[in-house]
Amino acid sequence: MVLLATLSPIATSIPTVAADRARLAIKGYDPVAYFTIGKPTVGLAELAYEWDEHRYLFSRAEHRELFKADPVRYAPQFANFCAVALTRGELDEGNPEYWLVSEGKLYLFGKPIGPGVFQRNLAENIIKANESRWLVHKR
Per residue in 37-63, pLDDT (tens digit) is 999 999 999 999 999 999 999 999 999
- Give how many domains the chain has, as a whole number: 2
- Is residue 114, in this structure, part of any structural domain at all? yes
- Is residue 122, in this structure, part of any structural domain at all? yes
Name the pTM for this structure. Answer: 0.83
**Whole domain around residue 132: which residue ranges?**
76-139
Mean of the per-residue pLDDT values for the chain? 88
Q: Is the pLDDT of residue 29 over 70?
A: yes
Q: Averaged over 54-73, what is the pLDDT?
A: 98
One domain, residues 50 and 91: no
One domain, residues 56 and 94: no
- Distance in angstroms (rounded) separating the CA atoms of residues 123 and 2: 65
- Distance in angstroms (rounded) separating the CA atoms of residues 15 and 115: 40
One domain, residues 52 and 96: no
One domain, residues 124 and 66: no
One domain, residues 117 and 136: yes
One domain, residues 65 and 80: no
